[in-house]
């Protein structure tokens, strides 16, 4: 199996699926391979037509079963010093080098290699392979795919997200939500503030409200939170507006983010802000300019993966890897989206996050074979 996995990994790495570029060639290659090895494959194109998600099924078309999840995109190699061609699998000792080797084509290659033995085994429950686009730029692919899967009635029981964790079990991470808020007021002469709507002043009031919500979030820490810090955080990253001392600014912008530790926190902040804008800011702005408005643009909303006491995916992987220690990580994954779909979710994959996004990214043969051992166990768990 390891040889097969390495051969597949070499092919996957040869597709330069940087997030900004198309992943269609790699998707077509994988679809072809999987269909020849007994999987039912569905591709979901994005609006541009240049990207696709894949959802493949091995085994019976029934609810339950396991999703093996990976993203097809990789980060760029621009300005990185590589000692070999990043889009050509290179061996060094027992390491396999190439862009995406650990993040996360190594896991995808292992999952694809499993299709052949799995399709020859009678299965009671399906194994789904879920490969997405644009994870590295805000989980765009998975966010589009989840509603499609729900519409089709898919209800897998658990998901294993193969992000590089050195094959250790990760059961939680914070979410990441990013917003740009634009305040459209009314320009005017600085000598007559009451005749304009000062967008900067309203942006500052908004930020002040946001900061008081950030303080309130510290009182909403979930019991036994293992995150650092343990609460949902808010950061105001950019505040921009105005042109000169004596001009009332008509436009201001605030870029901010929050990292929720529990799903309710993001909604709590959004509801509170919306109420503040509707009942306080807008009425005051519109007294002077009925056209004044506040627009909030969602840049990305990646759900966190909330650690659960009841987690079948974690328990199964712990049993298969023989390692029951479970951690949380600071980076976000597609796992939270699967959790929102009702699945139990664990993050566990070959290679280390320390190599991800770096030059000379690699995955070791030892990690790949540990991953294959886990996937063989997953296969046994759904066998008839
Ligand atoms: Zn990744």
Under a CB-based contact definition with an 8 Å cutoff, are residues 360 and 338 in contact? Answer: no
Q: Is the pLDDT of residue 372 over 80?
A: yes
The Å distance, Cα 206 to ligand 1 centre, comes to 34
Under a CB-based contact definition with an 8 Å cutoff, are residues 73 and 135 in contact? Answer: yes
Q: Is the pLDDT of residue 331 over 90?
A: no
**pLDDT band for position 9 (cuts 50, 70, 90):** very high
pLDDT at 13: 98
pLDDT at 37: 94
Query: SS3 for 294?
Result: strand
Q: Residues 317-335: what's their mean pLDDT?
A: 91
Q: What is the distance between the alpha carbons of residues 384 and 40, in angstroms, rounded to a whole number? A: 19
Check if 136 is active-site: no
User: Which residue is listed with tokens 């996004």?
Assistant: 357
Residue 149's contacts (CB-CB under 8 Å, 6 or more residues apart) are 55, 341
Structure tokens at 214: 């950030």
What pTM value is reported for the model?
Answer: 0.85
pLDDT digits over 23-48, tens only?
999 999 999 999 999 999 999 999 99
Structure tokens at 208: 């002040």
Percent helix, strand, coil in the chain, to 5, is 35, 25, 40
**Of 13, 2, 127, the residue nearest 77 (C-alpha):** 13
Q: Residues 309-324: what's their mean pLDDT?
A: 94
Q: Is the pLDDT of residue 245 over 90?
A: yes
The Å distance, Cα 353 to ligand 1 centre, comes to 8
Q: What is the distance between the alpha carbons of residues 179 and 296, in angstroms, rounded to a whole number? A: 7
Q: Where are the alpha helices (DSSP H) in the chain?
A: 2-13, 24-36, 106-119, 140-151, 199-217, 263-276, 282-288, 312-321, 335-340, 365-382
pLDDT at 129: 97
Residue 189's contacts (CB-CB under 8 Å, 6 or more residues apart) are 195, 196, 246, 247, 248
Q: Residues 340-344: what's their mean pLDDT?
A: 94
Q: Is the pLDDT of residue 207 over 80?
A: yes
What is the number of other CB atoms lying within 10 angstroms of the CB of residue 6? 19
The Å distance, Cα 211 to ligand 1 centre, comes to 31
The Å distance, Cα 191 to ligand 1 centre, comes to 53
Q: Is the pLDDT of residue 223 over 90?
A: no
Q: What are phi and psi of 24, to 5 degrees?
A: -65, -35
**pLDDT band for position 303 (cuts 50, 70, 90):** confident
Q: Is the pLDDT of residue 151 over 90?
A: yes
The Å distance, Cα 304 to ligand 1 centre, comes to 15
Q: Is the pLDDT of residue 349 over 90?
A: yes
Under a CB-based contact definition with an 8 Å cutoff, are residues 171 and 311 in contact? Answer: yes
Check if 73 is active-site: yes
**pLDDT band for position 302 (cuts 50, 70, 90):** confident
Q: Identify the bridge partners of residue 181 per DSSP, sorted by sequence position.
A: 254, 296
Structure tokens at 153: 């009635």
What is the number of other CB atoms lying within 10 angstroms of the CB of residue 330? 10
Output Rg (C-alpha) for the chain, integer angstroms: 24
**pLDDT band for position 330 (cuts 50, 70, 90):** confident
The H or E element containing residue 57 is strand 52-58
pLDDT at 275: 98
Under a CB-based contact definition with an 8 Å cutoff, are residues 29 and 11 in contact? Answer: yes
Q: Identify the bridge partners of residue 190 per DSSP, sorted by sequence position.
A: none
What is the number of other CB atoms lying within 10 angstroms of the CB of residue 261? 27
At residue 301's C-alpha, the angle toward residues 273 and 294, to 5°, is: 35
By DSSP bridging, strand 52-58 and strand 127-132 are antiparallel
- Candidate list 6, 73, 163, 306, residue with the active-site label: 73
**pLDDT band for position 139 (cuts 50, 70, 90):** confident
Q: Residues 286-301: what's their mean pLDDT?
A: 95
Q: Is the pLDDT of residue 306 over 80?
A: yes
- Candidate list 6, 135, 178, 265, residue with the active-site label: 135
Q: What is the distance between the alpha carbons of residues 338 and 269, in angstroms, rounded to a whole number? A: 23
The Å distance, Cα 154 to ligand 1 centre, comes to 24
Q: Residues 128-144: what's their mean pLDDT?
A: 91
């Amino acid at each position: 199996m390891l040889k097969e996995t390495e051969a597949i990994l070499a092919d996957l790495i040869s597709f330069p699926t940087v997030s900004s570029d198309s992943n269609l060639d790699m998707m077509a290659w994988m679809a072809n391979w999987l269909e020849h090895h007994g999987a039912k494959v569905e591709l979901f194109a994005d609006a541009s037509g240049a990207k696709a998600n894949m959802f493949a099924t091995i085994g019976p078309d029934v609810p339950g079963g396991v999703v093996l999840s990976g993203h097809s995109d990789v980060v760029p190699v621009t300005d990185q010093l590589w000692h070999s061609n990043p889009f050509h699998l290179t061996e060094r000792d027992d390491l396999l080098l190439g862009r995406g080797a650990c993040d996360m084509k190594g896991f995808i290659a292992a999952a694809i290699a499993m299709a052949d033995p799995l399709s020859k085994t009678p299965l009671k429950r399906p194994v789904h392979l879920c490969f997405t686009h644009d994870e590295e730029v805000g989980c765009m692919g998975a966010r589009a795919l989840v509603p499609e899967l729900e519409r089709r009635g898919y209800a897998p029981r658990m998901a294993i997200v193969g992000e590089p964790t050195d094959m250790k079990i990760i059961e939680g991470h914070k979410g990441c939500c990013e917003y740009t808020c634009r305040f459209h007021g009314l320009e005017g002469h600085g000598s007559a503030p009451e005749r304009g709507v000062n967008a900067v002043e309203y942006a500052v009031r908004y930020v002040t409200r946001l900061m008081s919500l950030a303080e309130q979030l510290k009182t909403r820490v979930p019991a036994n939170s293992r995150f650092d810090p343990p609460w949902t955080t808010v950061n105001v990253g950019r505040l921009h507006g105005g042109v000169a001392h004596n001009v009332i600014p008509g436009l201001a912008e605030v870029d901010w983010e929050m990292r929720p530790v529990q799903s309710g926190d993001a909604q709590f902040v959004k509801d509170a802000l919306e109420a503040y804008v509707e009942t306080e800011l807008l009425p005051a702005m519109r007294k002077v300019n009925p056209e004044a408005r506040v627009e909030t643009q969602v840049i990305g909303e990646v759900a966190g993966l909330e650690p659960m006491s009841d987690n079948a995916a974690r328990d199964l992987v712990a049993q298969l890897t023989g390692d029951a220690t479970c951690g949380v990580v600071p980076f976000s994954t597609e796992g939270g989206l699967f959790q929102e779909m009702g699945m139990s979710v664990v993050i566990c994959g070959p290679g280390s996050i320390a190599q991800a996004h770096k030059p000379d990214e690699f995955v070791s043969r030892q990690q790949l074979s540990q991953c294959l051992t886990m996937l063989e166990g997953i296969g046994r768990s759904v066998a008839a």
